[in-house]
Amino acid sequence: MTDEAIIRVSAGKGGDGLVSFRREKYVPKGGPDGGDGGDGGDVFIICDDNTHTLSEFSRKKEWRAEDGQNGKKKRQKGKNGQDLQLRVPRGTVIKDQNEVIYDLTKTDERVLVAKGGRGGWGNVHFASATHQTPLFAQKGEPGEAKTLKLELKLIADVGLIGLPNSGKSTLLARISNARPKIANYPFTTLEPNLGVVRFHNREFIAADIPGLIAGASQGKGLGDRFLRHIERTRVLVHLIDINSSQIVQDYQTIRQELALWSRDLLRKKEIVVLSKADTLDSQTAAKIGRTMAKELNKKVLLISAVSGKGMAELLNELTI
């Protein structure tokens, strides 16, 4: 999934005003009748629920609205340039010189990012009692041009986080309609996946974020691109593989990366989950869970996305 792109947008140039004089039978020396130029087209960006990635903008970097047409004889105005409408997914952030100028979170939201140039006046505007034959007209104004950065932040209620191969994709596939790629090795998930979860007449969206590692907040393992996708979530489900030899350290590694990225992430509701509980006998798994809960001073859930163990308890927590 392409979740960022840098593009150049250019609004249309205004058409030039026309220098023209009325020439008709029996009126050999009519007055000025040069029309105005049309306005250049604007560039809009629209939030579209049918668009899911920014891939179109990674392929095409230059976008230009139509220029206005020049003025015509008989005081006719040139045709305005057609506006350019660029469609992006909901959750797209638009930056100009690294400053956020728009954050598109509402369906069909439409923002103007480059204004078209105004059409120039034809010579008809410059006639006066002392200057009846103006031989000049006004040029059309150039349209605005900007270099914009587009960043997609997924809009999800629940973010599934953890180290690589901690069971996030398997969990998402178990509780939702999503079918992410699943394999028993790290970094299987290379892009965020979304799934719709329905439980007890409630519905919410969960996002499986690719595995984070130490240094993710500085870009290691593309972590800086993945972390922004959980900024909008309501709840974080933090998965740790129950078979790890350093369970608490695994937990702290992810929490540290969240803090380095944004302290706001630490203030979100967090559900701590030990995954793959089916790989151990129930007594051993329960003991590990109690030990971790005591060390963290937090409730710890035991689940198996393969067998379904603990799913109801987890989903109840998510729908509270």
Q: What is the pTM of this model?
A: 0.74
* Tens digit of each residue's pLDDT (9 = 90 or more) over 136-167: 999 999 999 999 999 988 778 999 998 888 88
For the chain, give the mean pLDDT: 88
4-152: CATH topology: Spo0b-associated Gtp-binding Protein; Chain: A, (2.70.210)
End-to-end CA distance of the chain: give it in Å, rounded: 31
* Tens digit of each residue's pLDDT (9 = 90 or more) over 19-76: 999 887 776 677 899 999 999 999 999 999 888 889 899 899 999 999 999 999 999 9
Give the pLDDT score at 202.
86
Domain ranges of the chain: 4-152, 158-319
CATH assignment of 158-319? 3.40.50.300
Give the pLDDT score at 208.
85
Among 166, 188, 186, CA closest to 272: 166
CA dihedral 300, 304, 308, 309 (to 10 degrees): -50
Domain 4-152 and domain 158-319 have a common topology: no
Give the pLDDT score at 92.
94
Q: Which helix (H) or strand (E) holds 169?
A: helix 168-175
